Amino acid sequence: MLDLQERLASLGYFKVGTTGYYGTVTEAAVKKFQKAYRLPADGIANDATLAKLKKVTKDSGNTLEQMARIIHAEARGETYLGQVAVGAVVMNRVHHSMFPGSIREVIFQDGQFDAVADGQYNLKPNASAYRAAREALNGSDPTKGSLFYYNPKIATSEWSKARPRVVKIGNHVFTR
């Protein structure tokens, strides 16, 4: 039970101290997780829910920290909504069969995020990045399911520019 609560807490769903007791707070956290990951939202930590939770949080160290770092590195200087949008792309990739199934694996997949390659990922995130990370981890998606984004002012990749455009938020164009 503690492992379940700690994993839910690392994703921002369980916001009180871990108790090891499966009560209404844990049930509500499980329902939020299930809804965000498109599982039947019944609040029961069944095999499918536990498998998805373990997959999403495996080797995470600290999922919130990783998400805040990628948001800060990729979207600092963007509006708050733009920061949430970058986090949403990470979550959309976790849910998509084309990408690895955990946040950590998505962030560190070769060639996906310039901020990982150039070391900006190692910068200390600010409070806004943590807030945006929590919102994205809780299922907010202003990108409408986008899997990619780019800044048209600096992007050189024709592949990126050729992707179907979904929405522009701040300086980033979000695509599928």
Query: Distance between CA 52 and CA 176 in Å, rounded?
Result: 24
Domain, as residue range, for 98? 63-175
More confident residue, 174 or 103: 174
Other C-beta atoms lying within 10 Å of the C-beta of residue 80: 14
Looking at the structure, do residues 87 and 144 belong to the same domain, yes or no? yes
Write the CATH number for 31.
1.10.101.10
Predicted local confidence at residue 96, as pLDDT = 93
pTM of the predicted model as reported, rounded to 2 decimal places: 0.70
3-state secondary structure at position 111: coil
Q: Are residues 138 and 155 in the same domain?
A: yes
Find tokens 């999403």 and name the residue: 56
Are 136 and 52 in a shared domain? no
Interval 145-156: pLDDT, tens:
999 999 999 999
Percent of the chain residues topping a pLDDT of 70 = 96
* Average pLDDT value for the chain: 91
pLDDT in tens, 38-77: 999 999 999 999 999 988 876 545 788 899 999 999 999 9
Structurally, the chain folds into a number of domains equal to 2
Q: Are residues 81 and 164 in the same domain?
A: yes
* CB atoms inside a 10 Å sphere around CB 31: 18
Q: What is the mean pLDDT of residues 18-26?
A: 85
pLDDT score at 58: 66
Please tell me the predicted confidence (pLDDT) of residue 103: 87
**Do residues 73 and 154 both lie within one domain?**
yes
**26 has pLDDT over 90:** yes
Query: Rounded to an integer, what distance in angstroms lies between the CA atom of residue 155 and that of residue 153?
Result: 6
Whether residue 97 is found in the same domain as residue 161:
yes
Of 10-24, 25-39, 86-100, 109-123, least confident by mean pLDDT is 10-24
Both 78 and 97 in one domain: the answer is yes
Average pLDDT of the segment spanning 29-42: 94
